[in-house]
Amino acid sequence: MAGQQNRISTQEMLLFCVTVSCVLFGSANGLTYETLCLGSSMKFPMLYSPPSFRGRMYFTPSSGGPRKVIMDNGKLKDARISLSYLSAELRRLTERDEGTFSVTFSDSVIDVIRLRILDCSHKVTEHYGHYYSSDVPSDAELLEFTRLHSKDQPKLLWNRTDAQTNRGSRVQVARSGRSWEINDLTQADNGYYSFRAKDNSSLKGTLLEVKGDVRK
């Protein structure tokens, strides 16, 4: 029991020192500010990554939603968080990830990361009923779709190693895997199309907006 108390005390002291350092040499309120693109990933500092971090981490969305626990005693509470050596990573960032990440210190909750999400996608405007086509990155393995202004998880449209994934989708990827297309566009096609590599890193993003209805 004494050993456990010593480990907790050491961790809290380390967190305190880092927080003070941020105040003295960085942001005046001890925050790290991150600005990342939709679909990209955010790595948490080693101090806040299991197994070295055994505390509780919260996320409070900028949209004003409720605060939620995303890490607790080394356990991950968000399926998009993956662990690698000495770091944790939150993958496939969406608009709902914009907000503040906080940790517990003694009886207080301290804000440590404030994340801003930017739309870095290539914007394309097409007309209702028309056709859209573009290239597929050579190292792309997945194509995901997120509806415009939606907070839902991305939908998998294509997997290079699983041809079954592409069946029944309005988006069609050529057998060569070099191009993709959508025929007879509608407003249901509005949204973000993101190609990802084998390690889930974002390669290419397209924001497609369908204008008007020429069938009236």
Tens digit of each residue's pLDDT (9 = 90 or more) over 175-206: 888 999 999 999 999 999 999 888 777 788 89
Domain ranges of the chain: 2-118, 122-211
Supply the CATH classification number for the domain 2-118.
Answer: 2.60.40.10
- Evaluate whether 2-118 and 122-211 have a shared fold: yes
Sheet holding 132-135, edge to edge: 132-135, 179-182, 171-173
- Within the chain, where are the H helices? 2-25
Provide the CA 121 distance to its chain's centre, in angstroms: 14
Supply the CATH classification number for the domain 122-211.
Answer: 2.60.40.10
**What's the CA gap between 66 and 50, in Å, rounded?**
24
**Does the predicted TM-score (pTM) go above 0.85?**
no
* Residue 49 backbone class (left: φ over 0; alpha: ψ -120 to 50; beta: rest): beta
**What's the CA gap between 39 and 32, in Å, rounded?**
20
The pLDDT assigned to 61 comes to 94
End-to-end alpha carbon distance in the chain: 74
Q: Are 193 and 122 in contact (CB under 8 A)?
A: no
